Amino acid sequence: MVDSNAAHFDGLSSLITLGGFAIPARARFVAKFVGSSLFSSLTLGLVAGQTGAALFSCGPLIPFMAGSCIGYTWGCIGYWRQCKNMTMAYAKSYPKILAHSLCTNMLLVPPKDLALDGSSDVSETIKGTDSKMTLDEWIVEGGIGRLSYAILAAQSCEEDIQEMHKSERQKIVDKYSGGIVKNS
């Protein structure tokens, strides 16, 4: 799922990166958060204001303010969920990268006995042969503080993971285009 706000800010950060400036993860988080909450606040506020002006005798201002508050809250919660889901997906799919980002960028060192190589399978844990905790379990167990640091760490390593995805996609495309040329 591609978020239009995220695509806009990704283009902006790639433009700034070309200029020699790197945007820190916290600044990207704040910019995306402001964009997401502002867009949802204005959209819902304008819709509520127009609806209030058309259907009720109170005018557009009170419905606009109420709609804006609801839209802002909705945008905040939606962006938090999106970031949390991305972080948990990175913790499951790329635990070594996220753990490295936690250590280097956030100075939060995960325990050494975490299963960072994907060896802690659910079936193995149930049988009792492997009781190592995975990185995503460690993040959830740490509460809101550890989760927020993990979200910032995921923001820090997001470009590297996207670069890996692009490389994998290019290999697939090259494989297909090589097969088409051979068949022609």
Task: Give this prediction's pTM.
Answer: 0.72
What are 46-65's pLDDT values in tens digits?
999 999 999 888 889 999 99
pLDDT for the residue numbered 12: 54
Query: Residues 116-141: what's their mean pLDDT?
Result: 64
Measure the CA–CA gap between 66 and 160, rounded to whole angstroms: 40
- Do residues 124 and 137 touch, judged by C-beta distance below 8 A? no
Q: How confident is the model at residue 122 (pLDDT cuts 50, 70, 90)?
A: very low
